[in-house]
Structure 1
C-alpha cells in the first residue's frame, strides 16, 4: 500500500537530482577538512545567512546541542520557551551533555515575549547561575509551525546585545518562516549569534543539518562535533544533496503552506475536529480530536488502515505535516478518509 504520509516533513524522499548529485559528488575526508563538496555547502550556508562560517552536522539535534555546548559552561542557565524542541525533544541533552539548567518561559503561540525574556535574565549574584544563552525556535514545532516575526526577533536580539548574552536559533524550519514572512533568511536571522537549520525536512535532503555563526564559534563547534562522534569522513555525498536542496527546494515551500491551509480548513469543517486556524501559518496542522470520542491511538490506527499516516501530538492532539511528496489529490483523499472515520467514531 502507498501511504499518504503526513507524519512529518522528515519522511520526504530525495529528488532524482539529489540522487544524481550524490552519485557524482567529489569527496574527501571531512575530519581533515578535505571534502570539497562539504566545504562548498558550508560556504553557501554561511553566505545565505550572512555569517562567517558554517558546519555540516548529521542532525538538527546535534546542531542545537553543539551550539549550547559552544556558548555555555557547566552550571550556566539557558532561557528557552517552555515547549521548545531543544528542551522538549532532545532527550535532556542540555543537562546531560552541556551541564546547564533551563529557565523556561511560556510563549505566545511559541513566540517568546521580549519583556519576559528580559525579566528572566539573572542578576549578578553568587547565589544564581549565569544566564549564558537565549534559545529561540522559528518555526515553532509544538505551537503548530507558528512563525516568530522579524520585529520579535530584533527585540530579543537587542536584549542579547544589551546584556552580552548570545542567542541561538533553532531554525530547523527557518526557510518555512522566511517564506511565510517573505524575507530572506539573512535578514530574519541577522541578530542571531548562531543558527541551526535542517536540510532533511521541507528541503527534502536525505540527511543533514547546518550550524552557522562566527568563525570562532564554528571552530569550537567543529571540535565539539568530533567529541560527540559527529566527525564524518567522505561526507560530500551528504553535502551534495544539501546543495541541491538549497538551490531547488526553498521556493516551493509555499506549496506546502498552501496545502496545509487546504488541509486545515477541511479538517475544521469536519464535526468532531477542532483546528486553531490562526496557528496554521506554515506546513504544520494540529487537530484536537477529543469530540470524536476516539483516542489518538485508535484514530491513527483507523487512519492507517485507510492509507493515511499522521502523528500523535500529546493529549487529544494529532499532527499533520505537508511536504513535497504530498499533492492536492493526497489532501483531498486524506480529508475524505478522516471525515469517514470521524463520522463512524461519533
Structure 2
C-alpha cells in the first residue's frame, strides 16, 4: 500500500520538471528563428547602396525590374539565402562532429573536409585553369568528399573499428599531407595563388543563384540525415555498450554521420570558402542554452549558426563602406573573443 500511494507524487515530480525546461527550450528556439527572420530582412535591406526600407519591402514582393529590384532580387536575396544555408550546414556539421568524436574542440576541418575542399580548388586553378566560382565549386565538393572517404578508410584500417580517436588522427594526417600539396602548387603558380586567396578567406559576396542552387540539394539531404541521427547519438552518449543495448549501432552511426558531415561541410565550404569558428563555437552555445540533449543541440545549432553568419555578413557590409569585409573575417573577429571569454569562465558544457 505504501508503495502504491507514493507512486503518483514521484511520477508528478518527474513529469513536471521535464515539461517546463522543454517548454522554455522550445520558446528559445522560436526566439532564435524570429531573430533569423529579422536578420534576413535586414540583410536584404542593408548594403553599400542605400535603399529605403519601405521601397525594399515593396520591391521584395513586387519585382518591377527597376535598379533597386535588380539589386535586391539578383544580389541580396541569393546572398542572404546562401548565408542561411551555409550557416545552418556549418553549425549542424560542427555539432554532429563534436557528438561523434566526443571532442568539444572538433570542428568541420577536423576530418580533413575543409582541406579536401581547398585541394579541389587548388587542382582546378593550378592544373585545369578553371577560375570561375561555378567551375571550381564542384571540384571543392569532390575534394571534400574524397578526403572524407580517405580519412575513414585510414581510420578504420586494420582490425580495429573507426573509433573517434582514430578518425581524428587520420584527419590530422590527411590534412597535413593535403596542406603541403596545396602549398607546393600555389607557391609554384602565383596566378593560381592570387585567385585562390579570394576563395580561401571565406565570403558570401559574388555568390548568386548559380552557386546557391547546385549546393542546395546536398545541404538539404545532409540536414535530414543529421537530424535522423538524434536518437542514436543520445544513446551512444551513455557509452557504446549501453548504446548498443538501446539499439544503436556505433559503426553505422559513424558512417552515416561522416556522410552527413561531408555533404554539409563539403557543400558549404565549396560555395562560400572555409569559414572558421561557426562550426566550433555554435554547438557550445547550443549546449549552454539547451543542455547536452541532441534533440535540442542539433536544432539549436541549425538555427543559431545562420543567425551568427548572416549577422556577421551584415556587419561586414556596413563597417567599411563602400567596400566590404569578408564574412569569414567578421565571424572570427566577433566570435573568437566571446568564445575565449566563455572558456575562461568555464561555462562550456562538457560532452
Name the structure with the higher strand share.
1
More helix by share: 2
**Normalising by structure 1, what TM-score?**
0.27
Q: TM-score, normalised by structure 2?
A: 0.27
